[in-house]
A and B are shown apart, each in its own frame.
Chain A
C-alpha cells in the first residue's frame, strides 16, 4: 500500500501539469463547497455568538395570546385570572436546576404619554421592575444611580431611562434630575442605563429583539411598587429567567412557563405564559441560511462530478500509456488485484490531493469574501475533513473503471505494444 502511494506520487509528480489540470475540477468543486460552508459556519457562529455574546443567557417568559406577545395598553386589556407573581412562585422557579436568577416585571407598550417640557415621546416601552432586574438582564449604569430599596419602600416616583429614551427625549441634555411626566404623574430621572454588552448586530438578546420588533423609541424603568400609581394594581407580570448556560436556555424557559401557567386561575384563559425560544429562533435563522446555501453546495457538487469524470478520462489515458508497464508487472507475477490497487490508489491520491488543495483554496477564498464583503466566515473542520474524504471517494469511484481496465489487460498483448 505504501509502495502504491509512493508510486502514485511519483506518477503525479512526473506529469505535474497534467495532474494539476486533472485535479483542478476537484479543487474548484471542493474550494467552492468549503467557501460556502465557511460562510454558513460564520453566519451560524455569529448568530450563536449574539446569543451567547449577550452574556446573560436570559429567557423572556411572557404573556402571549395566539403565539404573539400579549400587550397591556389599558385597564380593559388586562387578562383575567392571571395573578401577580407571588414570592412562592418566584422561589419555585429559582429552585429549577437550570435557572440561576429570576426577576419579574410589569411592561406596557405606550403610544403616547411621556413628556419633558415641550418634548413628548411616543411608542415606547415602560417597565416596572424589581431590584434584581438590571442584574439579571445585564444592564449597566451609565450615569446616575440604580434603584434603591428606599425607592421601593417609599413608592418614590423615580425613573431610569435607557440610552435610546435619553437620546430621544432629552436631545443630548443631561437627563439626571429632570422631571418627566408619565400618565400625568411627575417622575424624576435618577439614572441612565445601557446594555452591558456592546454588540452591534441585529439580535443581541431578548429585549433588543422585542425592542426592534416593536419599534420602540426607548425604555423607561420605574420601581415596580410605583407602577400602580401610574397604571393599575395587580397587573400580570412577565418574567425573565437567567439560565445556567446557553444550552439550558430553552429548557429553563419552558419549565418556568409551566410553573407560571399553573398559577393561572382562569383555566380557559387564552392568554398564557410562554418562553421565548431564542435558541429556536437562531436555529430557524441558521436553517434558513443553510437551506439557501444547500443549493449552492449542489451546484458545486456538479463541478465535482465533472472533475471526477476528468480524473477518469486521464486515468484511462494513463492506463493506455502504461500498457507496457502493466504487462511487465503482470509477467513478473503481479496479481490482477495488485494492478487494480495501484491504479485505484493513484486515482485516490490524485483526488485527495485535489481535495486538500481545494480545502486550502476554499479557506483562502472565504477569507477573501470576508475581506471584501464583511460576511463572517468560520472554518468548519469536520466539513473540511469530509471534503477530503469525499474527494478521495471520487477518485475511487471514477478510478474504478480505468483500474479494472488496467488489471484486465492481457500481459502478452501488453508486452507486445511498444
Chain B
C-alpha cells in the first residue's frame, strides 16, 4: 500500500467561523495505481491534494504513506518526504522562468544534495525520458505549454519518486497537448509509478484506472456503471 488516508477531516479555522472542507475522507491507493479525483472547484479536491502531498495537515484522521504515519512528523521531515517520495505536477507548471529546462529539472536534486555532475546527468536523462532532449537549454519562455508541462513532469520524476501527484495537469493545455500528456502519464504508470491526479474534466479523468468523485468535501468511489456511462458518452479521447 502506498497511500492510506483514513477518516480525514479538514476544517479551515478563521477567527469568526470554522469552514469544514473535507469530511470523513477515506482513500487507499495501492502501489502502481492510477487514480483520478474529480470534482468541481470548491469541492475540496485541492485541499485533499495538499494533504496527500504533505503540504498540509488534516484536522482529524490518519495518513500513512508507504506504511509510515506522516502526520506526527515535523516540517523538516515533511520536506524530506516531499523531496524523496513525491513528485508534483501543477496546473500552471511552476517553472522558474529565468532558468533553463535542465536547471529546472535538476532543482530537486540540489535540495537532495546530489553533486552537480550527477545532477546534470540525471536531469538530462529525465528530460530525454519526456522527449525534450533537444530543448534542455531552453528557458520556459521558449517552450510551448505542452513542453513546459513535460519539463515539470521531468522535474517531478527526476528524484525517482514512487508517487506522482498532479493537480489539474492539463488545465492550461490545449487538447492535443493534453492527449500527449495523458499518454506520458500512462507510460509512467506502466513503468510502475503510482499516480494521483486531480481534474475537473471527465475526459481527462477517464484516462485513470480508478476515478473518485469529491463533492462538498465528501469523497466517493465511482462505480463501474458510472465509468461505462461516461465512456458511452464518448468521454475518452475527447
> Contact partner of A331 among B55, B80, B99, B159, CB < 8 A?
B55
Specify which chain A residues have a CB less than 8 angstroms from the CB of B53 in the assembled complex.
331
Specify which chain A residues have a CB less than 8 angstroms from the CB of B82 in the assembled complex.
331-333
Are A334 and B111 in contact (CB-based, < 8 A)? yes
Instruction: Please tell me if B56 contacts chain A, counting CB pairs below 8 Å.
Output: yes
Instruction: Please tell me if B108 contacts chain A, counting CB pairs below 8 Å.
Output: yes
| A334 to B, closest residue via Cβ | B111
Specify which chain A residues have a CB less than 8 angstroms from the CB of B81 in the assembled complex.
333
Are A411 and B55 in contact (CB-based, < 8 A)? yes
Are A324 and B94 in contact (CB-based, < 8 A)? yes
Chain B, interface size: which category? 20 to 34
Say yes or no: A335-B55 contact (C-beta < 8 A), given A325-B96, A418-B92: no
> Contact partner of B83 among A324, A328, A332, A415, CB < 8 A?
A332
Say yes or no: A333-B94 contact (C-beta < 8 A), given A412-B50, A412-B55, A412-B56: no
Specify which chain B residues have a CB less than 8 angstroms from the CB of A329 in the assembled complex.
107, 111
User: What is the CA–CA distance of A3 and B86 in the complex, to the nearest angstrom?
Assistant: 23
Specify which chain B residues have a CB less than 8 angstroms from the CB of A3 in the assembled complex.
110, 116
Are B111 and A332 in contact (CB-based, < 8 A)? yes
Q: Mark A333-357, 1 if CB is under 8 A from B, else 0.
A: 1111010000000000000000000
Specify which chain A residues have a CB less than 8 angstroms from the CB of B230 in the assembled complex.
none
Are B76 and A333 in contact (CB-based, < 8 A)? no
Instruction: Please tell me if B185 contacts chain A, counting CB pairs below 8 Å.
Output: no
Instruction: Please tell me if B155 contacts chain A, counting CB pairs below 8 Å.
Output: yes
> Contact partner of A335 among B79, B116, B155, CB < 8 A?
B79
Are B76 and A332 in contact (CB-based, < 8 A)? no
User: What is the CA–CA distance of A40 and B90 in the complex, to the nearest angstrom?
Assistant: 60
Main secondary structure of the interface of B (DSSP, over half): helix
| B77 to A, closest residue via Cβ | A335
Instruction: Please tell me if A14 contacts chain B, counting CB pairs below 8 Å.
Output: yes
User: What is the CA–CA distance of A183 and B202 in the complex, to the nearest angstrom?
Assistant: 126
| B94 to A, closest residue via Cβ | A328
B77 CB to closest chain A CB (Å) equals 10
> Contact partner of A333 among B56, B83, B90, B98, CB < 8 A?
B83
| B53 to A, closest residue via Cβ | A331
User: What is the CA–CA distance of A333 and B80 in the complex, to the nearest angstrom?
Assistant: 6
Instruction: Please tell me if A265 contacts chain B, counting CB pairs below 8 Å.
Output: no
Instruction: Please tell me if A330 contacts chain B, counting CB pairs below 8 Å.
Output: yes
Are A336 and B55 in contact (CB-based, < 8 A)? no
Are B98 and A10 in contact (CB-based, < 8 A)? yes
User: What is the CA–CA distance of A67 and B83 in the complex, to the nearest angstrom?
Assistant: 78
Instruction: Please tell me if B84 contacts chain A, counting CB pairs below 8 Å.
Output: yes
User: What is the CA–CA distance of A320 and B82 in the complex, to the nearest angstrom?
Assistant: 24
User: What is the CA–CA distance of A336 and B111 in the complex, to the nearest angstrom?
Assistant: 11
Specify which chain A residues have a CB less than 8 angstroms from the CB of B63 in the assembled complex.
none
A310-327 contacts to B (CB < 8 Å): 324-325, 327
Specify which chain A residues have a CB less than 8 angstroms from the CB of B75 in the assembled complex.
336
B154 CB to closest chain A CB (Å) equals 12
B76 CB to closest chain A CB (Å) equals 6
User: What is the CA–CA distance of A412 and B108 in the complex, to the nearest angstrom?
Assistant: 18
User: What is the CA–CA distance of A3 and B88 in the complex, to the nearest angstrom?
Assistant: 22
Specify which chain A residues have a CB less than 8 angstroms from the CB of B86 in the assembled complex.
333
Say yes or no: A332-B108 contact (C-beta < 8 A), given A412-B55, A412-B56, A418-B92: yes
**Can you name 6 A-B residue pairings with CB atoms under 8 Å?**
A328-B94, A332-B111, A333-B81, A333-B108, A412-B56, A415-B90
The 10 closest A-B CB pairs, nearest first, are A333-B83, A333-B82, A328-B94, A334-B111, A332-B108, A335-B79, A333-B111, A411-B55, A333-B79, A3-B110
B residues near A (Cβ < 8 Å) are: 50, 53, 55-56, 75-76, 79-84, 86, 88, 90, 92, 94, 96, 98-99, 107-108, 110-112, 116, 155-156, 159
Known: A10-B99, A325-B96, A336-B76. 16 other contacts (CB 8 A): A324-B94, A328-B90, A328-B94, A331-B82, A331-B94, A332-B82, A332-B83, A332-B108, A332-B155, A333-B79, A333-B86, A333-B108, A333-B111, A334-B111, A335-B79, A335-B111
